[in-house]
Structure formats: structure tokens, C-alpha cells
Amino acid sequence: MMSRTTNVATVAMALLLIGCGASSSSDTTSTATPATSSSTTAVASTADTSSATAPVTFTAQVWADNWFSLTVNGVKVGEDSVLVTTERSFNAETFTFVATYPLTIAMVAKDYAEDESGLEYIGTDRQQMGDGGLIAEFTDKNTGKVIAVTNTTWKSLVIFRAPLNVDCVSSADPATACEHETILEPETWTSPTFDDSAWVAATEFTAAEVRPQGDYTTLTWSPDAQFIWSGDLKVDNAIVYRVTVADR
């Protein structure tokens, strides 16, 4: 059991680091061109080109309730264009990036939470636990094949849970009444060499359970792509995921 702390400084630092997304400052073996729009091509290739296969262009499409970032082979190639601080954010995004197989895809997904209570619409008659959801698919533009989709093969680690005591939802002071649990993203977790064997399989959810809003229906999805989260769509508010695509 993680410590149930309300240490504001600790939480602030954790959230700050979470807010930094999936960038890995320790990964010095890769280069990237930051994506500034959905049409920008980012580069995520390993430096060891002697053994790498030829660079390939990929497209990624992602819908998240409410926010995500995307890192491939240790290089950040995309981030939700709507800030994580946006209460109702249900946009879909499409990215293009260049990388070499094998791909290590690392994503951060966050459900909107107004503060460490984990609640939203605080102080209104809609005060509640919000719920999350993530779906993504990746296509090799050389072959036109979908080479990765979100499903239970993705490994997951919850880094922010709240509220742990769900009866605090009706509190007039949820920031005090609600307990939470946060951990920092592990160092180098986006690196291809990171050991995620202790992480657990992502959980698949149906569309009826996630109730995707906003732009989800503006994109065409592979029937294999599944909504994922951790085990709890409401209490788990920030999750990091990894999956490796061995080859084309």
C-alpha cells in the first residue's frame, strides 16, 4: 500500500513531473524533432543505426479522455493539443513520426482531475469522480498495415489514484476529505531497455463503458483497437503504458 499523503509539496512535484509527460531526459541515444502540429513529422530513431532497420514513417491516431502523450523509442513524438487542465477534453489526434523497428511505444494517459482529490466540477451540483479512457492505433505507412493497437498486451502502471475513499465525493471540502496516492514516473520508463515486467496488463473496456465523447467518431478505427485503462476508470487518474512492436 502506498503512503496516503496529503503533502502538498510532494503532490505538486509529482503532478509537475507527471505534467512533463513522457519526455526522457536521460535518453541521450535518440534524436527528435518536436511536433508542433498534427501534420508535423517527428523523428524517433535509435542512434545505433548499424543494427537498426531502415527508418519507417508511421501514423498514430489517439483518442483520450482526457489527455495523453506519446513517446516512441524514447523520443516524444506527440502530445494532446488540449491541455491536461481542460475539464472537458475529448479531442482525437493524428501524428506522423519516423522510427525504426522494434518500436517501444510509451504513453501517458490522464483523466482530468481538478486537484489531488481526483474530483471534477468541485463546488457545483455536478461534483463527481470523472472517468478516463484511451484508444490508439499505429500504422506503418510503407505497408499500410496497422502494427499496434491498444489492448491487454500493453503494460500499465498507475501513478495517480484519487479518491481512495470514494465517500468523500459529496464533501464540501474534497481537497481535505479525499485521500490520494501518487508515485513518480519511473526514471527512463520510456526507454526501450526499461524493465516493465513488474507492470500489469492494461484492462480493456467497451465503448459502452467508456462512453467516448467528442472527436472519437471523427476517425475510423481498426476493429482490433480497444479502449484501455487500468482497472478503475474513475479512481485511476494518471497511468503510464508501454508496449513493444518487435518487427513489421
Residues that bind Ca ion (CB under 5 A): 65-66, 111-112, 130, 234, 237
Q: Find the shortest distance in angstroms from Cβ 234 to Ca ion.
A: 5
Contact 49, 80 (CB under 8 A): no
* Of residues 112 and 227, the one with the C-beta less far from Ca ion: 112
* Of residues 54 and 208, the one with the C-beta less far from Ca ion: 208
Q: Find the shortest distance in angstroms from Cβ 85 to Ca ion.
A: 13
* Of residues 78 and 130, the one with the C-beta less far from Ca ion: 130
HEC string of the chain equals: CCCCCCCHHHHHHHHHHHHCCCCCCCCCCEECCCCCCCCCEEEEEECCCCCCCCCEEEEEEEEEECEEEEEECCEEEEECCCCCCCCCCCCEEEEEEEECCCEEEEEEEECCCCCCCCEECCCCCCCEECCCEEEEEEEECCCCEEEEECCCCCEEEEEEECCCCHHHHHCCCHHHHCCCEECCCCCCCCCCCCCCCCCEECEEECHHHHCCCHHHHHCCCCCCCCEEECCCCCCEEEEEEEEEECCC
* Of residues 4 and 141, the one with the C-beta less far from Ca ion: 4
The residue sitting closest to Ca ion, measured at its beta carbon, is 130
* Of residues 97 and 205, the one with the C-beta less far from Ca ion: 205
Q: Find the shortest distance in angstroms from Cβ 109 to Ca ion.
A: 10
Q: Find the shortest distance in angstroms from Cβ 57 to Ca ion.
A: 32
Q: Find the shortest distance in angstroms from Cβ 248 to Ca ion.
A: 35
* Of residues 78 and 212, the one with the C-beta less far from Ca ion: 212
Q: Find the shortest distance in angstroms from Cβ 166 to Ca ion.
A: 10
